[in-house]
Amino acid sequence: MKKTPSKKTSQKPAPKKSGAKKTAPARRVLLVTGMAGAGHSSALKVLEDMGYKAIDNLPISLLWPLLAEQAGQGSAVAIGIDSRGWDFSAMALAEHVKRLRDFPGIDLKMLYMDCQTDVLQQRFTETRRVHPLAVDRPVYDGIAEERAMLQPLREAVDHVIDTSHLRPQDLKRILTGYFRLEEDPGLKVFITSFGFRNGLPREADLVFDVRFLDNPHWDPALRPLSGLDKPVADKVRRDSGYKPFFKSLTGLLAPLLPRYLREGRHYLTIAVGCTGGRHRSVFTAEQLGAWFTSAGYSAEVRHRDLAGWSARQGLNAAERQGLNATEANKKKTTTKKRKKA
């Protein structure tokens, strides 16, 4: 008898199980260091409000055990390490940072808080605090020693914030811009006008000088106004150098913005300065803010030296409107005279 061959049922091969395990997202770690009195505690409080777990004055010897054992686990953490620590060493901290940056499961950034020496001296004097490196010496000696000691860290930091002339709300704005925890926040641009005679904004990433434009200050009718007022805006806009400058400025910035995002940067501070920070820089900053908004970026504009000037001048909204109306009436009168002529 012939045996009938059995029919082979076709079976689909079982899908191969991938041996690669899904990697857990890296834990965000922010180390806060820098000069004593520059605002470490204030920065940590802001970061805590932003969602970070904050640890202040951690000994360096505990940094590696704390982070290496919990890599990829837990919420974002901000750790303050500075010269107050009993085992603090700038070289040791730099070595730990280098090791941790190569360690899987940790996304580590380092923030350096800085401040001008004279401002630090004033802060320690006003609060009657003792500098950690000058317990029995003048404050200046401790500041100088600490600045020299921390120099090796400057090459390892990701961001430097100088708090010499920052208000608390400015510090919060900068920290939020650099270290927010939301995914893919895009690029936020902060634009400030300022007067060179009052000093540069030390937090600025890019600084542009518009003092080459005609100064409305020398027009008695425009002097009490600011770049927020139409007569001043019209004068600056009519300057033959303004239009090509602004076109070149936006042409310079446009290709930079996508590259900032590509490098993982989500915050940019641009400062525009003129002599007093009231006319030319104010108008240009407003125009630049409008350009960023129209290009699809989140932009905020502030005028650093304008509020104090307005207060000194004693101007209120009604007075400013009156000055604007006066200027407009002058223009109408001039136009009528020209037509009659």
> Kind of pairing, strands 188-195 and 267-274?
parallel
Residue 144 domain-assigned (yes or no): yes
Spatial strand order in the sheet of 188-195 = 206-209, 267-274, 188-195, 298-303
The CA–CA distances, whole Å, from 29 to 49, 68, 144, 176 equal 15, 11, 29, 15
Cβ–Cβ under 8 Å, residues 287 and 295: no
Backbone dihedral angles phi then psi of residue 80, each to the nearest 5 degrees: -95, 125
Per-residue pLDDT in tens (0 to 9) along the chain, 341 residues: 444 544 444 454 454 444 444 455 778 899 999 999 999 999 999 999 888 999 998 888 888 888 876 655 678 899 999 888 888 888 888 888 888 888 888 889 999 999 999 999 999 888 888 888 888 888 999 999 999 999 888 888 889 999 998 888 889 888 988 888 876 567 889 999 999 999 888 889 999 999 999 999 999 999 999 999 999 999 999 999 999 999 999 999 999 988 888 776 778 999 999 999 999 999 999 999 999 999 988 899 999 998 765 444 444 444 445 545 554 455 455 555 455 55
d(CA 142, CA 52): 31
Amino acid letter for position 246: F
Residues 6+ apart with CB under 8 A from 39: 113, 115, 161, 163, 166, 171
* CA proximity to 236, closest of 206, 196, 193, 205: 193
Within this chain, do residues 294 and 156 fall inside the same structural domain, yes or no?
no
d(CA 10, CA 27): 48
Pick the last residue of a domain from 121, 156, 179.
Answer: 179
Which residue range(s) make up the domain with 63?
A: 27-179
Within this chain, do residues 97 and 175 fall inside the same structural domain, yes or no?
yes
- pLDDT value of position 156: 85
- pLDDT value of position 120: 93
- pLDDT value of position 311: 43
Residue 8 domain-assigned (yes or no): no
Within this chain, do residues 61 and 197 fall inside the same structural domain, yes or no?
no
Residue 12 domain-assigned (yes or no): no
Residue 91 domain-assigned (yes or no): yes
The CATH number for 127's domain is 3.40.50.300
Residue 331 domain-assigned (yes or no): no
Within this chain, do residues 302 and 201 fall inside the same structural domain, yes or no?
yes
Residues 6+ apart with CB under 8 A from 235: 214, 216, 219, 222
Residue 326 domain-assigned (yes or no): no
- Please count the structural domains in the chain: 2
Within this chain, do residues 314 and 192 fall inside the same structural domain, yes or no?
yes
d(CA 16, CA 272): 60
Cβ–Cβ under 8 Å, residues 191 and 292: yes
- pLDDT value of position 222: 93
Q: Structure tokens of 55?
A: 């640890």
Within this chain, do residues 295 and 225 fall inside the same structural domain, yes or no?
yes
Within this chain, do residues 121 and 261 fall inside the same structural domain, yes or no?
no
What b-and-e string marks burial along 241-253, b requiring 16 or more CB atoms within 10 Å of the CB? ebeebbeebeeeb
Q: Which residues pair with 111 in a beta bridge?
A: 32, 159
CA angle (47 as vertex; 159, 45 as ends), nearest 5:
115
Within this chain, do residues 175 and 311 fall inside the same structural domain, yes or no?
no
- pLDDT value of position 267: 84
- pLDDT value of position 135: 82
pLDDT tens column, 67-76? 876 655 678 8
d(CA 17, CA 20): 9
Residue 270 domain-assigned (yes or no): yes
* CA proximity to 269, closest of 196, 175, 181: 175
Residue 18 domain-assigned (yes or no): no
